[in-house]
């Protein structure tokens, strides 16, 4: 199975900060990667798919990028509602595999 | 609007069985693969099983192979997960999740989840 290594596992930041979260795939997955936001007690929510494409309704402060097997989620200016846990997911093939998650906390 | 509603989660003893259901609406159900993803308490996400829109192809995680069976009824817009020989390590919230495509397209929508607790 393809392994997704996500970093950092946790991150403290302030409202207005720019933050980046990274996932590295153990092999090439084209751009078959999504980013999800999960708040406590809730289901994950799709933010970005195909590495770059913003899901409908998601604020433009979220963006995704890719370089080889490295993928990045960037939040350009953190808002209070962005404090949550973020996961990447590779859907290049089955089994889909998730990153370990990044918990974004208020500094 | 896509809507996924899981049901069937419960407290069950080790070795027991449970059947999860997912009622889907807001999209052409038969055109999309469907997935079951679980999340153990305080842990990350794990794909458990998947099924093609036609039902012709399935995937199972090694941890559930031979114990769980995924199925779907496209006439009823319903997805199922039959869970047998349950173990303590199967304790988790189970999410029904719609695929972006007919197979291996990623996940775009999730249900609210149903809690399965395996304990004596």
pLDDT tens readout for residues A69-104:
999 999 999 999 999 999 999 999 999 999 999 999
Residue B78 touches partner A, C-beta closer than 8 Å: no
What would the pLDDT profile of B1-12 be if each residue is shown by its tens digit?
999 999 999 999
pLDDT of residue B76: 98
Chain A residues in contact with B105 by the CB 8 A cut-off are: 91
Average pLDDT, integer, range B31-37: 97
pLDDT of residue B55: 86
Of B59, B95, B106, the CB nearest to A95: B59
* Spatial separation of the C-alpha atoms in residues B100 and B35, rounded to whole Å: 11
Query: What share of chain B has pLDDT > 70, as a percent?
Result: 100
Residue B95 touches partner A, C-beta closer than 8 Å: yes
* Spatial separation of the C-alpha atoms in residues B67 and B89, rounded to whole Å: 13
Residue A45 touches partner B, C-beta closer than 8 Å: yes
Chain A residues in contact with B107 by the CB 8 A cut-off are: 34, 46, 89, 91, 96
What would the pLDDT profile of A4-32 be if each residue is shown by its tens digit?
999 999 999 999 999 999 999 999 999 99
pLDDT of residue B101: 87
**In which band, very low, low, confident or very high, does the pLDDT at B104 lie, cut at 50, 70 and 90?**
confident
Asked whether the CA dihedral B105, A48, B95, B73 is positive or negative, the reply is negative
What would the pLDDT profile of B49-83 be if each residue is shown by its tens digit?
999 998 889 999 999 999 999 999 999 999 999 99
Residue B27 touches partner A, C-beta closer than 8 Å: no
Query: What share of chain B has pLDDT > 90, as a percent?
Result: 93
pLDDT of residue B42: 96
- Mean pLDDT score of chain B: 97
Nearest CA distance, B50 vs chain A (angstrom): 9
3-state secondary structure chain B: CCEEEEECCCEECCCCCEEEEEEEECCCHHHCCEEEEEECCCCCEEEEEEECCCCCCEEECCCCCCCEEEEEECCCCEEEEEECCCCHHHCEEEEEEEECCCCCCCEEEECCCEEEEECC
């Amino acid at each position: 199975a393809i392994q997704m290594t996500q970093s950092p596992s946790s991150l403290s930041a302030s409202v207005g900060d720019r933050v980046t979260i990274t996932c590295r795939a153990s092999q090439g997955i084209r751009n078959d990667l999504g980013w999800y936001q999960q708040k406590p007690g809730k289901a994950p929510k799709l933010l970005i798919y195909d590495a770059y494409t913003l899901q409908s309704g998601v604020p433009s402060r979220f963006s995704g990028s890719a370089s080889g097997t490295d993928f990045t989620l960037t939040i350009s200016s953190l808002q209070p509602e962005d404090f949550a846990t973020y996961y990447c997911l590779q859907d290049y093939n089955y089994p889909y595999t998730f990153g370990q998650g990044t918990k974004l906390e208020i500094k | 609007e896509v809507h996924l509603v899981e049901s069937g989660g419960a407290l069950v003893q080790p070795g027991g069985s449970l059947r999860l259901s997912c009622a889907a609406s807001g999209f052409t159900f038969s055109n999309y693969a469907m997935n079951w993803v679980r999340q153990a308490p305080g842990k990350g996400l794990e794909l458990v099983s998947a099924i093609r829109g036609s039902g012709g192809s399935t995937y199972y995680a090694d941890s559930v192979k031979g114990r769980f069976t995924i199925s779907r009824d496209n006439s009823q817009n319903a997805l199922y997960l039959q869970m047998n020989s349950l173990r303590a390590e199967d304790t988790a919230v189970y999410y029904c999740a719609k695929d972006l495509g007919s197979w291996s397209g990623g996940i775009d929508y999730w249900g609210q989840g149903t809690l399965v607790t395996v304990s004596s």
